[in-house]
Each structure stands twice: as structure tokens, then as C-alpha cells.
Amino acid sequence: MNKKVYIGLGSNLGNKSKNIQNALDFIADIEGVNINKLSSLYLTAPWGRTDQDHFINQVIEIETDLSALKLLYHLQDIEIKLGRQRDGKWGPRIIDLDVLLYGEEIINLEELKVPHPYLLERLFVLIPLAEINSEIQFPDGSKIREVLSRARALKEGNDIIKL
């Protein structure tokens, strides 16, 4: 059975737009994955660790018959192929691929947590997520509009620019 899955893409090293495009090309080549929708690209301030360059972020909607873990392993392989180095939490990266939502499932494994643990706080994924599905409902029953409104109220300044 196919699942609707949302993936966050981010890059803040090198040619950021090309890194995102390269990741999309690799994702499109995964057997059992179809890319349905792509958000616009967004220029965003770093989150968590702010002493680094701005990111370009995007969210995509895919449909897949792959298990959540098998999809995660494919995404991690893509990160490695594109040169990702894991140098500390929230550090600079050539590419970052995160499973944000996997159908309506809640997954709590050591290697994968879905919904993504910081999803409800991160405007850089909430805004593009709302762009591609303004009616999305999270597994806890909350709707994207409510979550986005709360996250915007907590965020000072406007550090997200649609490209």
C-alpha cells in the first residue's frame, strides 16, 4: 500500500540550489518512490546553531510503497553520495534529508522519529509543507494552519524568504 510521505530538504554549503536539485534527482530514481509535489525553495536562517550560512530549504510530497526505515536508508545513502559529513548537531551540511511525515503513522525508533521531532517548531519546513498541502493534518489531529499560526507567533522576525 502506498504511503504519502513528506520529506524536508536543506543545504547551506556549496551550490545550495544544485545540492537540492541533485538530491531530488536521486530521490526520483529510488524504485518505489514517486515525487508528487515540490514546494518553492526558501532561503532560511539557520536553526539550532546560528553561527553558519543561511540554508535553502524545500519540502516534497512523495508516494511510496517502501517501509519508513527502507526510505530512511535510501535518503541517508543519498546524503552520503552528495558528500554529507555529520559534524555535530545542527551543523553546516551539503544536504540534509528528513522524513517529516510518513502517512498518518507515528514512528518512535532510535534511528527514526516521525513526525519529525522539531517539525511543529520549524517554520522552514512548516511554510513549504503548507504550500504543497494546505489541508494536511498531523497524527495528533492538529491542522497545518493551526500549527503554522502557533509557530509564527513564537518566532521573532521574518527569516524565511521564498525564492
Helical (H) or strand (E) element with 141: none
Q: Is position 98 annotated as part of the catalytic site?
A: yes
Catalytic residue selected from 51, 84, 87, 122: 84
Catalytic residue selected from 53, 86, 96, 150: 96
Residues 6+ apart with CB under 8 A from 80: none
Catalytic residue selected from 29, 87, 98, 145: 98
* Farthest-apart Cα atoms in the chain, separation: 43
Nearest one of 125, 126, 48, 56 to 90, comparing CA atoms: 48
CA distance 127 to 113: 21
Q: Is position 77 annotated as part of the catalytic site?
A: no
Catalytic residue selected from 93, 122, 150, 159: 93
Helical (H) or strand (E) element with 94: none
Rounded to the nearest 10 degrees, how much is the dihedral formed by the CA atoms of 143, 145, 150, 155? 130
Q: Is position 96 annotated as part of the catalytic site?
A: yes
Q: Is position 145 annotated as part of the catalytic site?
A: no
Active site residues: 84, 93, 96, 98
